[in-house]
A = this chain, B = another copy of it.
């Protein structure tokens, strides 16, 4: 009935410490968690034993008995996207500061993967952070909805708390900047890797300002494969848009990566930035600051977003939030760099 003896490399357990210190398990437990007050002499004996054995508590066992983990699940967008990578880093750091570890899972082709979500549930994560995902299946939603705390960071859904920048206002500021430089033919370029709700809000901000200024909104959408530019699902050639009499003189891109693609495209077509074309991005990834890129863009404060996200998730877990989802927004501002300039006289 006895199972075979454990391998010799076994790590010391709380009983080993208790035995060595000549006390009971509970006393050791009390010391390592410094819970109930323990007599100084006892505490010293335990501490010595811990050091002697190089004892390290097994948090898995602890979390099993406590019926809750200190692990967050995080569903990150493609980490090859610098915005997501920077965000992931900030999330990890702020979580660690609150005593949580993070298990990251990548999205697959920008779609949240159900198997990964199930894994997170099997690990009994304390909550899930969705970082800027582009989409999620209904089945994926049902998997987690209502089962554990969820916060959407830089993206949105009605079945969890939301932490994001004020996309509408950010887009307004960007568009006003271009108008104030004298531009009138200003296009909005939607990058499909931007999450839907965020894209809609940015587009709406753009539209509002354009209409307020009696200008015609022009919305285009990148298609990644095969590469192309779409307007109302109809193919548009970049040349027709960027060259010729009725070309646009300014573009507001829904993210920095898209803006940088526009720069590339302009370079190929011999269009000078910012003399011939002004470009504004969204995010302010590190990349945007490079001298060779030098992109005017709407800053998403990643540090603040990550901190707020972690705060929200911990508060939700602690039960100190209203039952209905909260929606927290941080202010966005524009940083003007070298990719925008006054419209040149024709």
Contact = CB atoms under 8 A, between A and B. Distances in A.
A141 interface: no
A335 interface: no
Contacts of A264: 290-292
Interface string A146-182: 0000000000000000000000000000000000000
A104 B92 contact: yes
B123 A59 contact: yes
A101 B103 contact: yes
Interface string A92-116: 1100100001111110000000001
Contact of A80 (B85, B104, B116): B85
A122 B89 contact: no
Contacts of A290: 260, 264, 293
Interface stretch (A60-68, A208-216, A307-315): A60-68
A87 B295 CA distance: 26
A41 interface: no
Contacts of A329: none
A301 interface: no
A82 interface: yes
Contact of A60 (B69, B104, B119, B291): B69
Nearest to A57: B122
Nearest to A85: B85
Contacts of A88: 79, 85, 88, 104
A193 to B, nearest CB: 13
Interface in A218-255: none
A56 B122 contact: yes
Contact of A293 (B58, B104, B292): B292
A35 interface: no
A89 B56 CA distance: 30
B116 A96 contact: yes
Contacts of A85: 79-80, 82, 85, 88
A86 B292 CA distance: 22
A267 interface: yes
Contacts of A119: 96, 101
Q: Which 9 residue pairs of A and B lie closest in terms of their CB atoms, listed nearest first?
A: A85-B85, A79-B89, A264-B291, A59-B122, A292-B292, A79-B85, A267-B291, A60-B60, A60-B64
Interface of A: 6, 11, 56-61, 63-64, 67, 69, 78-80, 82, 85-86, 88-89, 92-93, 96, 101-106, 116, 118-119, 121-124, 260, 263-264, 267-268, 286-287, 290-293
29 contacts: A57-B122, A58-B64, A58-B122, A58-B124, A59-B123, A60-B123, A61-B64, A64-B64, A78-B89, A79-B85, A79-B88, A80-B82, A80-B85, A80-B286, A85-B88, A88-B88, A89-B106, A92-B104, A92-B106, A93-B106, A96-B106, A101-B103, A101-B123, A104-B104, A263-B291, A264-B290, A264-B292, A267-B292, A290-B293
